Amino acid sequence: MKVSKEKVRENRQRIVETASVLFRERGYDGVGVAELMSAAGLTHGGFYKHFGSKADLMAEAMSCGFSRSAQSSQGVSRDDFVKYYLSREHRDGVGEGCVMSALGADTARQSESIKAGFASGIEHQLALLLGEEGAGDVSRADLIAIMAQLVGALVLSRACPDDSALADEILAVCRARILSQDVEKA
């Protein structure tokens, strides 16, 4: 039975979106192709009709995750973004959360092309933040420092046991410090 071009596009998008969530939850090596395809509601054999390799899917899934993050943060004030980013809800929602905090360490162990895609995602996030109305008083250096602080705090909090007071303390301290920072003029 022949599948329409539209259905092929829909299936590919479902695979990418499913992979984006699963990779953030368990890392690139924590999800096999067969499991991923099953989670997407498709057969394992169809994977190579859509992608040349798992690495190709990793790159697309990462890009999808960065795009989703960018879409969800558009029009949100810096303070509201920081409050959400360093919240228990975001901390516990790994599969739907930030690609940088979920896959940063994992990406560091991947190929140069995967690292380049990750760097491109970071650059895109910075460009969005620098281009937003009201961000004109924030320098690129300030944004990089804030981004590193956000990601680092979330990674440290996630590394603690779920019921750990330290996990919540890390989020609270970093949230308060970032919100109280005066950023330098560009």
**pLDDT digit string (tens) for 78-95?**
899 999 999 999 999 999
Check residue 183 and give its pLDDT: 63
Comparison of pLDDT for 166 and 127, the residue scoring more: 166
The per-residue pLDDT for range 13-47, each reduced to its tens digit, is 999 999 999 999 999 999 999 999 999 999 998 89
Whole-number Å distance between alpha carbons of 73 and 62:
17
Burial class (CB in 10 A: 0-12, 13-18, 19+), 152: middle
Helical packing angle, 54-73 and 112-131, nearest 10°: 10
List of long-range contacts for 7-10, beta carbons under 8 Å, 24+ apart: 8/49, 8/50
The answer on pLDDT for 184 being more than 60 is: no
Q: Which domain holds residue 79?
A: 5-180
pLDDT band of 73, cuts 50, 70, 90: confident
Specify if 163 maps to a domain: yes
The answer on pLDDT for 127 being more than 90 is: no
**What residue has token string 């997407």?**
40
Work out the average pLDDT over 4-12.
92
Specify if 89 maps to a domain: yes
Number of domains within the chain:
1
List of long-range contacts for 152-157, beta carbons under 8 Å, 24+ apart: 153/86, 154/85, 154/86, 154/90, 154/91, 154/97, 154/98, 154/101, 155/101, 155/104, 155/105, 157/86, 157/91
The three-class DSSP label of residue 110 is coil
In CATH, what number is assigned to the domain containing residue 95?
1.10.357.10
The answer on pLDDT for 134 being more than 60 is: no
Specify if 55 maps to a domain: yes
Check residue 135 and give its pLDDT: 54
Check residue 185 and give its pLDDT: 41
